[in-house]
Amino acid sequence: MPTEQNSPALTSVAAGANTMTRQERHAFGASLRKKNARGDHASWNAPKDRPDPVNLLIKQGERRIQDLLPVRYARMSPSPFAFLRGAAIVMAADLATTESAGPHVQSCGDCHLANFGSYTSPEGTPVFDINDFDETLAAPFEWDIKRLGTSLVLAGRENGASEKSARALAVAMAQSYSAEMARLEPLTPLEIWTNRIDFSAAIDNFSDKHVRKQIRSRLDARLESAQQHFGLVSYDNKAPAFRERPPLVMRLPAHENTIRDAFARYVATQPPERAILLSRYHLQDIIFKVVGVGSVGTFCAIGLFATPDGDTLLLQIKEAQESVLAPFAGGNIFHNQGERVVTGQRIMQAASDSFLGWTHTAGTDEAEDSAPPLSGAGKQFYVRRLKDTRLAAIGSDVAQDGLPDYAELCGRTLARAHARSGDVAVISGYIGKNDTFADAIASFSVLYADQTKADWSVFLEAIKAGKISASAPS
């Protein structure tokens, strides 16, 4: 069972870490195997009192926009992998019943292969990293690895891979994670903190020549398209304005003031250097957007900020709710869930968005508890620059064309993200040099992929029986 952590902020993941040498911490990590053997991570047995997965989803949906829940469920319906993407709350409850060696890291919380992707650093360099942090929280380091491994097995099966090949994807990912931890271990804390993955260089290391060529071509094209605001902005009337793309991108005039209020609070609370930059722009237009799979039903909008000359800045504001890990991984020290998301992203990403921030709308805690989901009262949000979804999705393109290379890249990326908050020497010492840990992760991933397929079948039966509705909005 996971050990209880003292601080979700992860100021130190191992007691006495600042007084122990790297070699001593490595030895301490190795000693943890006596309590939790690496092979123990291979098992998955559903507890007899395991909650019904559909009921967990229904309960989670109570605080979401009810009219959009059928969209969420429709997006979860096509396959077990699609179901896994929307069922982070189900797997979080299950992971809490599994073995943990002890070390905690800042966890993604929803670590699957589609939540990795590329974006440009402040210097314009394409980097590869985790790109979704809605569920981030401090948690056992194994949880992200197990969820990522499960997603790879499911994706492999969906792509027609044999059971042996699908399992090999999880092995390759875990081996890559282990190798990256070992590579980072002798580095200084500052070197680890500033380490990032250049996506162009990563592509050059792909084993498949055809995949290398295809992905590099797509990357170059999408870097250029990012300059065109993704086709969302029109200059038909000279002044920039959003284009609607109903039913998933549209204006909701009745709720526009709620977003304007939240953006105003965000701007007013920025540090002086960013406030100067933001003062050059004014909020010109707002549009609402349905996002993702697991996030469908949360309050999300895009603000078009513009200068008098028509220069534009697109900021996305997205509702932040309690992490699915919170009931199982310990308390949340942040009053605002948006701050939790932003802090987690800044911890895990080597090159974070300079516009990251959090805000809220007017309303007391009592108002939040009683308000209808789209009222906007008492909502908590995080703000970021609108990411290029086509550039972010290039990771999914790699997964389609070269899943083995992508599995290794995701494992390496996850290790680098965990190393920023976790004790690299302790984790590396626990994992060791052989493949015992990687093999155990792969075995768990296969078993939990089977569990996910079974849960998906129950989910489809619930739709068929009318317990939940799955349909696109009219």
* Tens digit of each residue's pLDDT (9 = 90 or more) over 13-67: 444 567 899 999 999 999 999 999 999 999 999 999 999 999 999 999 998 888 8
- 246-252 contact pairs (CB < 8 A, 24+): 247/290, 247/472, 247/473, 247/474, 248/71, 248/289, 248/290, 248/473, 249/287, 249/288, 249/289, 249/290, 250/287, 250/288, 251/286, 251/287, 251/288, 252/288
Binning pLDDT at 50, 70 and 90, where does residue 363 land? low
Q: Read off the pTM.
A: 0.90
For the cut 50, the answer to whether the pLDDT of residue 262 exceeds it is yes
* Section 344-361 average pLDDT: 92
Report the chain's mean pLDDT, rounded to a whole number: 88
Q: Domain boundaries in the chain? A: 21-225+392-464, 229-344+353-389
Alpha-carbon distance of 287 to 344, in angstroms, equals 26
What confidence tens digit (pLDDT) does each residue in 129-161 have?
999 999 999 999 999 999 999 999 999 999 999
Q: Is 431 within 8 Å of 176 (Cβ atoms)? A: no
Q: Cα 239 from chain centroid?
A: 35
Alpha-carbon distance of 92 to 218, in angstroms, equals 34
pLDDT of amino acid 397: 72
Say which range, 31-35, 237-241, 261-265, 289-293, has the weakest mean pLDDT: 289-293
pLDDT of amino acid 9: 44
DSSP assignment string, 274-308: HHHHHTT-EEEEEEEE---STTTTS-EEEEEEE-T
pLDDT of amino acid 468: 96
In three-state secondary structure terms, 127 is strand
116-120 vs 233-237, strand pairing mode: unpaired
For residue 251 the two structure tokens come to 């204006």
Spatial CA neighbour of 86 closest among 70, 71, 75: 75
* Section 412-437 average pLDDT: 97
Binning pLDDT at 50, 70 and 90, where does residue 122 land? confident
pLDDT of amino acid 378: 75
Share of the chain above pLDDT 90, in %: 65
pLDDT of amino acid 1: 40
